[in-house]
Amino acid sequence: MEAERKDEREQSPFLEMRGIVKDFPGVRALDDVDFSIKLGEVTALVGENGAGKSTLMKILTGVYAKDSGEILIDGKDAQIVDVASSMAHGISMIYQELNLVPTLNVAENIFLGREQKTSRGFVDKKTMHAQAKQIIESVGLYVDTHVLVNTLSTVQKQMIEISKSLSVNAQLIIMDEPTSSLTETETELLLSIVKDLKKQHVGVIYITHRMKEIFQVADNIAIMRDGKMVTNLIASETDTTEVVRHMVGRHVDTLFAKEEAPITDVVFEVEGVSTKGFLKDVSFQVRKGEILGFAGLVGAGRSEVMRAVFGIDKRESGKIKVNGKPVEIHNTVDALRYNIGFLPEDRKEQALILNMSVRENITLACLKRLAKFNFLDKKQEIEVSTDFIDRMRIKTPGMEQRVRNLSGGNQQKVAISKWLATDSQILILDEPTRGIDVGSKKEIHLLMSQLAQQGVAIIMISSELPEILGMSDRIVVMHEGRVKGELMRAEASQENIMQMAIS
């Protein structure tokens, strides 16, 4: 009888969300959305940025309150009013920005706020470490539970987040862009963990923009667009073309919108740049109209090079030339003076001021140009902001909306707009399409091509090899703080790039 009840429970949805509606000032974020998932099932939740995925999950995890609709757990009405009540129903979410305390050890992170206690009320470290060891090994992580989290790799930190979820007996785990910062090898490891969770009858909602991963792990694909649930597909019965068509509401004919541009004079030269303890004698150059790709494994030094030449990090040695003339760049103000723009990898920490409006963020780096007699020309600022909101198709109720209230992809568009508004002639883009849906990726790739046609020199760092191959005119490959080689577009392949990157 017990076995029959268990089998019946696994055949019916563990979670049902019916008719979910959520309004924000000036916009309906969710419009009569239905969603369900069974235990032991992986459902990919996909859609363009701003489609409503994050809002739906925030309602499920108690961060937002729904305006109408109902949530059922095991067929019964579930009153989810905060994060604690969501967790009490067996739901746990792993965010794209990992929520770990780097100065605490593995066991302390897993049981943070739920520390095991002795009969006298003291923290029972022995029991905590024993239980933590058992949990992390169940997901294939074999590290000392006494080591500090800040000594671990990104994929190991992801595994600790999964372990935290299992430690509270989560039956449904939501993963938001879990592989965005991982190498291909680390991604494969994480996907194998997702498959193991499925075998343990844990339900997984997998949010990603990476089509390849969807078809590797998902049983079902739930597709959202403009706050509505468009369709649900069985992964084994569909393909990338159909998924993308439903996501964007149109056919996307080519993945990379690379267009040819005239490549002329060298405008930016870096010679022998080194930093204390890491970068070693890095040299490269980029020409007008060229897109120079930087490839390599995570930690190879690509971002570190750009931070050094932009004046964020101190250089121990090296020379920089702009238009053939030596220049001194010791800080970001110097870099801006020479018309260099830099979109950093971490948009929330380094690229945006989240509590400021869309308008303020877009014009932040070009205020000097928008000022007359040291006073900001408000009319011109509004014109610039409106132009980029339209050009970049930024989904926002208005330019005064706080950036923190936008979806991740729309935040990225604002960050890119900020540097485009400076009229930079040398533009460094570090992971410009990370966390962005396929339709928006094409828009950004097309914009890069248009800028190159206008003579802008673009340096693009990307961890996605198809993007490097699809958009670069020339590719620099780095390994352990050094340039390992350079490839022209015609001769580059995933195989020879990876060979350079790992040797």
Using a pLDDT cut of 70, give the percent of the chain over it.
96
Confidence of residue 434 (pLDDT cuts 50, 70, 90): confident
Burial of 94: CB neighbours in 10 Å, binned 0-12, 13-18, 19+? buried
Identify any residues that bridge with 222 across adjacent strands, giving them in sequence order: 45, 232
Nearest one of 310, 348, 340, 306 to 435, comparing CA atoms: 348
> Is the CB of residue 229 less than 8 Å from the CB of residue 442?
no
Q: What is the mean pLDDT of residues 304-311?
A: 94
Report pLDDT for 326: 95
Q: What is the pLDDT of residue 7?
A: 52
| 367 pLDDT higher than 80 | yes
CATH fold label, 261-339+425-503: Rossmann fold (3.40.50)
Domain 1-90+205-247 shares a fold with domain 261-339+425-503: yes
What are the domain boundaries of the chain? 1-90+205-247, 261-339+425-503, 350-423
The pLDDT confidence band at residue 10, using thresholds 50, 70 and 90, is: low
Tens of pLDDT, residue by residue over 457-488, are: 999 999 888 889 999 999 999 988 999 999 99
Distance CA 187, CA 70 (A): 35
246 φ/ψ angles, rounded to the nearest 5 degrees: -70, -35
Rounded to whole angstroms, the Cα distance separating 127 from 213 reads 37
Indicate if the pLDDT at residue 6 is higher than 60: no
pLDDT at 253 over 70: no
Q: Which of 382, 378, 339, 336 is nearest to 358 (CA)?
A: 382
The whole-number pLDDT of residue 251 equals: 56
50: CB partners within 8 A, 6+ apart? 226, 395, 406, 407, 409, 410
Strand partners, 24: 27
Average pLDDT, the chain: 88
**Predicted confidence band of residue 152 (pLDDT cuts 50, 70, 90):** confident
What topology is assigned to 1-90+205-247 in CATH?
Rossmann fold (3.40.50)
Strand 220-225 relative to strand 42-47, pairing: parallel
pTM of the model: 0.62
Task: Check whether 158 has a pLDDT greater than 90.
Answer: no
Residue 371 dihedral angles phi and psi, to the nearest 5°: -95, 145
Neighbouring residues of 281: CB distance < 8 A, sequence distance ≥ 6:
272, 273, 274, 482
Does 8 have pLDDT greater than 80? Answer: no
Average pLDDT over residues 85-91: 92
Whether the per-residue pLDDT at 43 is higher than 90: the answer is yes
